[in-house]
Structure 1
């Protein structure tokens, strides 16, 4: 049976500052756990740590995250070690290191606060999605059950689905009349299992979307289907603006945009919104574009120096 998202991102406390996780094959791209799954595991470790070891801080919500993917991860067990960097009255920051087989593979800083008790100046800006999007479907049940929603249609032909196994875990709905601009993806997503998105899911949502490179390849009429690329994340930042309800939400919208794709490296800007059109989180990535063979290649071993 395919593990649910909750099962795929589950963490277990080993001691007050050490946690374990287990990466599942069904939530991988090739042989490598999906970067969004890794990010959500970091969020779950932080949530658990602030609920237990740092409960006295009363800061349950991640408000910012910065992760560096040093090396590729792999299926199987992982150990995450937390260091309490700064404990403050308004915000606290922790550092997390993820290791497998003695290798430090992913490191990150996460800052926590309590969104329910935050106070301070709030102002309305003039920002909106540009170009504009059809945004909210007229009926989510119709979208899900019949596929006859006027503005959105489900993506059923997912490129390289056997390689990008994680794409089968999500139902993705795209603008029926095509994206509103090149280098841009608008989507509504829902977990295939029917699970609801919580704030710990935002790491996954920020990193799951159809390939911008695939769409631009077709637009430039390069001929044929684009090759199977692997897009390893180098850096992922997350700025959380809103606490989702404890029971979670069924649907989230995201807009993903690349500004410059050059020499096998690209930026990604992600805006995540809820059904009301309110911004839930913002994310920025640095991503590499390499052949799929790199994903499946054996690890290089370095001989010790004499």
Structure 2
């Protein structure tokens, strides 16, 4: 298995009929389970491809909003998914579709989504609400950031191993402030695509810079650094592997290796990316299983996409494993690109490791 470009994985042409069958990449998984944000993107792609082939909706090819529900884990090792589309309402300004996804037994629904598509070029009311991020984002120089030269920010990029627990996260390079806040109420990060890098090291000079597009908004929103482990106490003296404190330690180790000229500078023995360590290091970790994901896309990114996105993640309450999650996505100019909300269930990381999921 090699790391797959998520944009390439989404370049399937949905048939004119309402049913589409696709294979999901094994490389875009958390443990054995496909990343929900990627499944959401695949279902949205089915809608957009179908709509582009219909006379009434051929100009409505941009996703305005999507509400996804996940009913059971989707595991690529179990085979392809079948997506079935319904036209719920076809309108002049926007249209609504439903997509149901099945895997294996077509009597058991794995995921569904209601998607509103529109033409963003259609004129409408625009006003300034005066909303701004609060507290404001930390100052950053993105040019220096990409060169690992901003003194206030650091980079953490998960290594890609075919059987690694966190292999989906190799799709994103995370940049976070070096100064850890005393009380974490939210996580802020800048991200660039990570699939244009070698599996264990830096940018692959033989490929063009990868970019975020509207097709990948739900995927990017689901690759936020986990917030829940920042609120729990260390287990047997070990800092939770998904916490900002642990991530800063991983980033410092990677930075030292990178500056020393180590080619596989992303490979770490204790961050759960190595296949033999996945169960060991995620046994006591708290990961979240997404039950619902609602995303509203506020603006159309340039045709060629963008290199950078800013993410701010917040959870307001965690009760008996029930967690809410809000992710704001902004561009380089700090314009709001999308708002994503999730309803999630906290589970042990080891429960996402098995080929036969316990979820």
Q: TM-score, normalised by structure 1?
A: 0.88
Q: Return the match for 1:111 from 99, 104, 116.
A: 116
- CA positional deviation for 1:143: 1.4
Q: Which runs of 5+ in 2 are unaligned?
A: 197-208, 241-283
Matches within 5 A, 1:62-211: 62-75=63-76, 76-102=79-105, 103-119=108-124, 121-134=125-138, 137-138=140-141, 140-145=142-147, 147-156=148-157, 162-179=164-181, 182-192=184-194, 193=196, 194-211=209-226
Give a deviation string over 1:212-243, Cα, whole Å, max 9, x none.
Answer: 1222225x898423323331100000111101
Contact (CA 8 Å) 1:14, 1:20: kept in 2 or not?
no
Preserved contact between residue 268 and residue 285 of structure 1 (Cα < 8 Å) = yes
Q: Who is 1:61 aligned against?
A: 62
Corresponding residue of 2:279:
none
* Higher percent of residues as strand: 1
2:257 — aligned with what?
none
1:9/1:21 contact within 8 Å kept = no
Classify 1:54/1:262 alpha carbon distance in 2 versus 1 (closer, same or farther; 3 Å): farther
- Report if the CA contact (8 A) 2:287-2:346 is conserved: yes
Aligned equivalents of 1:98, 1:204: Cα separation in 2 = 17
Instruction: Report the counterpart of residue 350 of structure 2 in structure 1.
Output: 293
1: CA distance between counterparts of 2:153 and 2:316? 25
8 A contact 1:133–1:180 mirrored in 2: no
Query: Secondary structure of 1:239's match?
Result: strand
Check whether the contact 1:10–1:21 (CA below 8 A) recurs between aligned residues: no
Provide the secondary structure at the position in 2 that maps to 1:58: coil
Q: Who is 1:213 aligned against? A: 228
Deviation at 1:257, TM superposition (A): 0.3
Count of aligned pairs between the two proteins: 294
Task: Find the partner of 1:246 among 303, 306, 310.
Answer: 303
Alignment match, 2:238:
224
Distance 1:118 1:16, change over 3 A: farther
| Structure-2 change in CA distance of 1:156 and 1:84 (3 Å) | closer
Shift of 1:124: 0.8
Is residue 34–residue 74 contact of structure 2 (8 Å, CA) maintained in 1?
yes
Residue 219 of structure 2: SS of its match in structure 1? helix
What are structure 1's unaligned runs of at least 5 residues?
301-306
- Asked if the contact 2:100/2:109 (under 8 Å) is kept, the reply is yes
2:134 & 2:32 partners in 1: Cα distance? 37
Offset at residue 299 of structure 1 (A): 5.9
Query: Alignment partner of 2:50: what SS?
Result: helix
Mean alpha-carbon deviation: is it higher for 35-44 or for 255-264? 35-44
List per-residue Cα deviations over 1:152-195 (Å, max 9, x = no partner).
2112578x993121111211101121258513110111111242
CA contact (8 A) 2:16 2:53 kept: no
Aligned mate of 1:260, from 301, 317, 325: 317
Q: What's the C-alpha RMSD, in Å, of the aligned pairs?
A: 2.3
Distance 1:10 1:101, change over 3 A: farther
Counterpart of 2:232 in 1: which secondary structure? Answer: helix
